[in-house]
Amino acid sequence: MSNKVFMGLIAVLVIGAFGFIAITQKSKPKEAIIGDSHSSLGGNHIQVGEKHPAYNSDPPSSGWHYSNSFAPAQWGAYTQELPDEVFLHNEEHGGVVVTYKPDLPADQIKKLQNLFTPPYSDSSFKPSKAIVTPRSKDTHPIELASWTYTLNLDSYDQATLEKFYLQHVSKSPEAAAGPTNTPINQAKQ
């Protein structure tokens, strides 16, 4: 076999392989991103108590937040409410925040804590950048937020919680950063 024929055969195989890959990739439907998208308000740091404009989502998914000894907070579950300006710094670092109304049934609170903090209730799901905290401002039983995304749930839905986390974790301006500050009254030790 001559070099021209051999090179021609290689070229046909390479083009065929790229064509096959292109066709199979186009035939796979893209997974829909869950949650409501919001325009970024940036990530300006403010002092504790400093006034700032209103957020464009509830819970906030971007905007003005604290940068002090408690912000960003350590990843984990909290029994006391974290200020929006604290957990928003965690979102800027790529985290997902799960808030719940304080009157959410105790069994659902426990499920949230067990899903997002060690030892995990789902051994195949090990989130490393999550905060679970009560939030009296919530208008839905469970609300999720990540950088520029929110999702409201009327009850505990493990599949949706995991999907939101996996789709949105580490998708933020400072995704490589993490909390280095003092923990605030964490629920689990």
Convert the chain into a string of H (helix), E (strand) and C (coil).
Answer: CCHHHHHHHHHHHHHHHHHHHHHHHHHCCCCCCCCEECCCCCCCEECCCCCCCCCCCCCCCCCCEECECCECCCCEEECCCCCHHHHHHHHHCCCEEEEECCCCCHHHHHHHHHHHCCCCCCCCCCCCCEEEEECCCCCCCEEEEECCEEEEECCCCHHHHHHHHHHHCCCCCCCCCCCCCCCCCECCC
pTM over 0.85: no
Name the residue ranges covered by the structural domains of the chain.
1-30, 36-168
Q: What is the pLDDT of residue 24?
A: 61
**Residues of the chain scoring pLDDT < 50:** 181-189
Q: What is the pLDDT of residue 187?
A: 47
